[in-house]
Amino acid sequence: MRYSRRNIRLTAMCAALAMAVLGCGGGDSGGDSGDGGGSGPLSGTSFAVGSKEFTEQLVLGQITKLVLEDAGATVDDNTGITGTSNVRKALTSGQIDMYWEYTGTGFGEILGNEVSEAPTDPQQLFEAVKKQDMQENDIVWTTLAPMNNTYAFATSQEASDEYGVTTLSDYAELVSSDPEGSSLCAASEFINRSDGLPGVAKAYGFDPADVPTTEVELGVIFTQVPERESCNFGEVFATDGRIPANDMVVLEDDEAFFPIYNVALTVSNEVYDADGEQLEELFSPIAEKLTTETLQTMNADVDVNGLTPEEVAQQWLEDNEFIG
């Protein structure tokens, strides 16, 4: 196996991030998959694959794992790491070799740029993030996918009609006129990120302290907001399949605050130097097929239809003849 010290480092990571990781070596199949190492362009190689903890990231992580295994590699499954900062630290420290990241997150949260300065053209944003991350952190951004998993505010049709809120400008007015009506459910990361609630409040001219905010896990939003139990509004991702399943209304970002959140596989330069050509050949055609509609369907298969991320990933890869 090419990276002989990885298992030692991963053991240390699991201990250090025990509170942050849903299951180090998590996902649906445990740690070292043990299924790779066969014939293929990556035969004899070994990789550690990571992801964040939410559904879309788990699906993307399983896509990565299955494709690498099909190409003959041995894969350590480290999907399900909680939060951008933790999965990013895992990548830059060498605990994992790759995971899928979003350009908007890369530009603002990871690289520290002002969100308002993000290029509005997807390719220009990608090139800016790719160049800066390589120069500053030795991280390679591979082929860009067309999907845009932007942040959004969503509400029930009932609340939208009652308060007359269909845009974020409408929401800002509601915060001023009826703070209790603007109650928000959101995950911890969104409540604190520059491209989350603080940034939205600054862009739309309201004080985030005036918003009754309940910190919840992302999945809870889709039980609380439609029923208006703890809040009338909630943080969502545009590709979440539970939005149409719950007949939720997504508020228009009429001031275009949120940057673009296209996704790309990010890889440590050390690994890319060794296997970049093969990785590009494997994942470029996959990235090109990852549209917003495709991810919304796959996310719904997990969150609405009850399939596992690995089942959804494998079926999609087989349907598109990427494995098998």
* Residue 258, domain member (yes or no): no
Task: Say yes or no: 213 and 267 in one domain.
Answer: no
- pLDDT band, very low/low/confident/very high, at 324 (cuts 50, 70, 90): confident
Whole-model pTM: value is 0.83
DSSP string, 241-278: THHHHTTEEEPB-TT--S----EEEEEEHHHHHHHHHH
* Residue 255, domain member (yes or no): no
Query: Which of 84, 66, 82 shows the shortest CA–CA distance to 74?
Result: 66
* Residue 58, domain member (yes or no): yes
* Residue 71, domain member (yes or no): yes
Number of folded domains that form the chain: 2
Task: Say yes or no: 183 and 40 in one domain.
Answer: no
Task: Say yes or no: 156 and 240 in one domain.
Answer: yes
Residues 266, 288: Cα–Cα separation, whole Å: 15
The H or E element that residue 198 is part of is helix 197-204
Task: Say yes or no: 242 and 270 in one domain.
Answer: no
Residues 294, 196: Cα–Cα separation, whole Å: 25
Q: What is the pLDDT of residues 180-198, one digit of tens each?
A: 999 999 999 999 999 999 9
Query: Residue 157: which CATH number?
Result: 3.40.190.120
Task: Say yes or no: 245 and 290 in one domain.
Answer: no
Structural domain that includes position 180: 151-250
Which of 250, 272, 304 is a domain's end point? Answer: 250
* Residue 82, domain member (yes or no): yes
Residues 221, 54: Cα–Cα separation, whole Å: 13
Task: Say yes or no: 24 and 109 in one domain.
Answer: yes
* DSSP letter, residue 208: G
Task: Identify which has the larger pLDDT, 124 or 22.
Answer: 124
Instruction: Give me the sign of the Cα torsion angle 228, 232, 235, 238.
Output: positive
Q: What is the pLDDT of residues 154-184, one digit of tens each?
A: 999 999 999 999 999 999 999 999 999 999 9
Task: Say yes or no: 175 and 241 in one domain.
Answer: yes
Query: Residue 58: which CATH number?
Result: 3.40.190.10
Task: Say yes or no: 224 and 211 in one domain.
Answer: yes
68, 299, 87, 271: CA torsion to nearest 10: 20
Q: Is 282 helix (H, G, I), strand (E, B) or coil?
A: helix
